[in-house]
Amino acid sequence: MNLLNSFQFIGQFTELKGQKNLITLSVDSSVSKETMKSAMGRVYVFVEEKTDGSVEILKIGKSSDKGGLLGTLGFYVSALSGTPGQNRFCLHHMISDKLKSGSIIKIYVRFTESVKKKISGLTSEVEVEVPLDVTYVEHLCLQDYKSVYGSYPSWNFQESGNQLPKSLMESFGKFIADKKKS
């Protein structure tokens, strides 16, 4: 069963060497700049292709970042710059570790169209395009995954009720403490 039939391949993460950040994003040449900058809500999926040929969905997430998909994925790519959140910091390292082991981490996305809706003000009524809250779409994708595999993807820590890896959380704490010192 291919759970990604309705998703579009966007590209993959690649390893960076000798840089502050450990990974970057390589966008597939068939993906337009308009697609990458689209402000539509989106559900994205990280898929690992392992060296033995097996494939695993690692993470299902959602975003409606106004920077489009570039903004969404940019949080993962630039997680060792600025002041990242603990999830992005840890996932940045986890992606890097998978790449170092020889796996390929691909990214797929499904955009959610806006809906036209009449809204009323104090004295007027207008029709506007309203973005659908992609939280519902993400939730449905996660439930579908769980119904097939019996659990959530391994990197959906919050939904699984699991903690991020302890060693990465300790690294994150040190990273933030070092930022405050400088």
Please write the tens of the pLDDT for every residue from 25-66: 999 999 999 999 988 899 999 999 999 989 999 999 999 878
Which residue ranges form the domains of the chain, and what is each CATH number?
A: 8-169 (3.40.1440.40)
Percent of the chain with pLDDT over 70: 99
Q: Check pLDDT > 60 for residue 1.
A: no
Helix axes of 166-181 and 86-100: crossing angle, nearest 10 degrees: 120
pTM: 0.90
Mean pLDDT score of the chain, rounded to an integer? 93
